Structure 1
Amino acid sequence: MTSARIGRARDSLLGLALGDALGSQFFVPANRPAFDSRTVPPAPWQWTDDTEMACSVLLVLARHGTVDQDDLAASFARHHDFDRGYGPSTGRLLRLVREGGDWRVLAREAFGGQGSWGNGAAMRVAPLGAWHAGDPAEAARQAERSAVVTHPHPEAVAGAIAVAVAAALAAATARPAPGVFLDGVLEHVPDGTVRAGIAEARRLLTVRDPGTAAAVLGNGRQVAAHDTVPFTLWAVARHLDDYETAFWTTAAAGGDIDTTCAIAGGIVAARVGAEGLPAAWLDACEPLPGWAAIP
């Protein structure tokens, strides 16, 4: 375990938390744009379950150097704060784990034994990808291990793999062209709806309007991996070196803004580092929890 690896993952976590906290400030009525201008709301900005769970991912990596699934489930359950906006199925799972339940059984109760295909595994995984910078294959393997603890459905797993691989590629030295970047992600994502959506995002890279792209790819309104991950990768592929522009591009599509911006923020921050995040935004963001301090 190197300080550089920990540093990249911390930067990604910080960018994820910032995207989550600022994104959560925007209320978006159905079929309405997120906002009319790039004006940030008053501080403070509080992060949500996206950040709380991502903190556990990084904490477990720092402890073990790999995804220890039992420790990850225990950390999710121990630090579960109902008021952070958890979905009902995840909240129930974590409560039952705290009471002694087996995550291996509980996580597969939804969708006829396949488990949830929500975006929860994808929203928290970017720091894991940054941890494995330049090694997308290992990022994919570890992302799968992290996903199945709460979201074992193949589409949820595919979404987590896609985000982790994107962060691993973003954190590498060379700056890939947008199409090359998405091609690199597609190499590791298993067949299914998420992969098809990313392939469609690859074809839409010439589109400039986020609303147009989201009309095809989704914007997280369904809170599903296939409705969330392809659009966020479209946004970050086009703005991989510019955190602020990546945020506004992602948020402009509306939908599940805290989650889409957490994903986008974690990926871009894996590349630009903490120094690439807007200082005034960081000042407005709620600090990370004390228990998430990485040794």
Structure 2
Amino acid sequence: MTASAAERSYDSLLALSVGDALGSQFFVPENRPAFEGQTLPQGPWQWTDDTEMAASVHLVLCKHGGIDQDALAASFAEHHDFDRGYGPSTGRLLRLVREGGDWRTLAREPFDGMGSWGNGAAMRVAPVGAWFAGDPAEAARQAALSAEVTHPHPEAIAGAIAAAVAAAIAPGKPSPGGFLDEVLAHTPQGTVRQGIAEARRLLTIGAPATAAAVLGNGRQVAAHDTVPFTLWAAARQLGDYERAFWTTASAGGDIDTTCAIVGGIIGRPPAAWLTETEPLPSWCL
């Protein structure tokens, strides 16, 4: 039986949360990224703001059948938990929205009125792509709506579009080149798209560290420094969550975010990993 849009979104959210939670275990310098086959950190693994915001995306999709921007902003603000690791700009925005501020004005304050180009919109968007699986054009449109609430900069929007389209087409398990070609077909011109085009050229490179040296690994917490590498990793490991995770984590950088993006795209994490991951918040179920 074919899964419903809500089921696909929920499965993507779960997979995103595992990547986020396990990836977050590798932030401590002495706890460097393990490689495939090594012992996993002891659970439970706690997820971060990546999962908390993605849970709001899933909730709004289930309630509205698409992205209602006002509802999404309200849910982000209501469920904002400072201790989950939000960046200062997003944390301030959500606090002010909670106090009655207009997200349309607040979101555009950074970067001289263009808004943040951070990776926050891309890290939470995979459930949008899963909801609109098989319809990458609509996934792209809805991803842009979801990004604008907190990250309206064109590069942040492009990053969200690329990650959502990737999640929308991943279930079909296209070839690595075909996968990135389809993402490129829907991604607006700009630095993010240029990075994805470079990722396409680097598909024959086997070493994640080498690819990340060219594409970035999220260390700058910017969409253009995060999304191209995650799509390179996803393209090389479609259908294999475990290998996709270790490929992504081994490059270092913003590991919880890069692994959240890749996890949400790939889906179907190992059952044992789900058991070790903190349950999703009850309010999104």
- State the TM-score bracket (shorter-chain normalisation): over 0.9
Alignment of 1:260-279 (within 5 A): 260-269=258-267, 276-279=268-271
Alignment of 1:183-198 (within 5 A): 183-198=181-196
Retained in 2: the 8 A contact 1:28–1:34? no
Match of 2:124 in 1: 124
Which among 263, 272, 276 is matched to residue 284 of structure 1?
A: 276
Runs of 4+ aligned residues of structure 1 deviating over 6 Å after TM superposition are none
Match of 2:236 in 1: 238
Query: Identity, % of aligned pairs?
Result: 75
d(CA) in 1 for partners of 2:41 and 2:86? 23
Deviations 1:23-56 (A, max 9, x none): 00002549x9633663210011000000000000
d(CA) in 2 for partners of 1:133 and 1:259? 22
Retained in 2: the 8 A contact 1:136–1:165? yes
Verify: 1:114 aligned to 2:105, yes or no: no
Match of 1:182 in 2: 180
Alignment of 1:70-219 (within 5 A): 70-171=70-171, 174-219=172-217
d(CA) in 1 for partners of 2:227 and 2:27? 20
Q: Structure 2 unaligned segments of length 5 or more: list them.
A: none
Retained in 1: the 8 A contact 2:35–2:246? no
CA shift, 1:109, in A, is 0.2
d(CA) in 1 for partners of 2:239 and 2:92? 38
Deviations 1:32-89 (A, max 9, x none): 9633663210011000000000000010011011110000000000000000000000
Match of 1:51 in 2: 51
Deviations 1:70-125 (A, max 9, x none): 00000000000000000000000000000000000000000000000000000000
**What amino acid is the match of 1:117?**
W
Match of 1:273 in 2: none
d(CA) in 2 for partners of 1:23 and 1:175? 24
Retained in 2: the 8 A contact 1:162–1:186? yes
**What amino acid is the match of 1:70?**
D
Retained in 1: the 8 A contact 2:170–2:238? yes
**What amino acid is the match of 1:258?**
D
d(CA) in 2 for partners of 1:3 and 1:290? 21
CA shift, 1:7, in A, is 1.0
d(CA) in 2 for partners of 1:106 and 1:167? 29
